[in-house]
Amino acid sequence: MKRKVNYLGFLSLLALISILGLRTENAGLFGFFGFVYYLRYFWVVPDEFFLLNVQKAATFAFMAEMLSLVPCMFVCFYAYGAVRAVPAAFGLSFAIAILAFTAALAVLEWRERKGAVND
């Protein structure tokens, strides 16, 4: 049987950007170290239910990003000024989307594991 590759594990490669934080002394790059969490998905077999959970989590994250962009724009405008508001708001809404995707996927996997327990 041919083993399928779980492409969600490749998100863990973004953690390599955190090494640049050591070389450039930019503390903002250390946030990419959080992508190490996705390393575990290389050992998860991507069946249909897993793909459905990823789709649900991605939809939730997309909507969270779209709904948070405008409030982040207002907050960043008053916090950073007009020039830096747009890049800061897009970065902040992207971070919100990543956190929402990770949290939603963890909750969906927890529900799946909880339902699969035989007592």
CA-based R_g, the chain, Å = 17
Helix extents (H) in the chain: 17-24, 48-80, 82-115
CA distances from 25 to 12, 18, 19, 21, 22 (A): 22, 10, 10, 5, 5
pTM of the full structure: 0.84
Question: pLDDT per residue over 80-117, tens digit each?
Answer: 988 999 999 999 999 999 999 999 999 999 998 887 66
8-state DSSP, 47? -
Cβ-contact 97, 63 below 8 angstroms: no
- Tell me, what's the pLDDT at 26? 87
Q: What is the mean pLDDT of the chain?
A: 90
Cβ-contact 14, 32 below 8 angstroms: yes
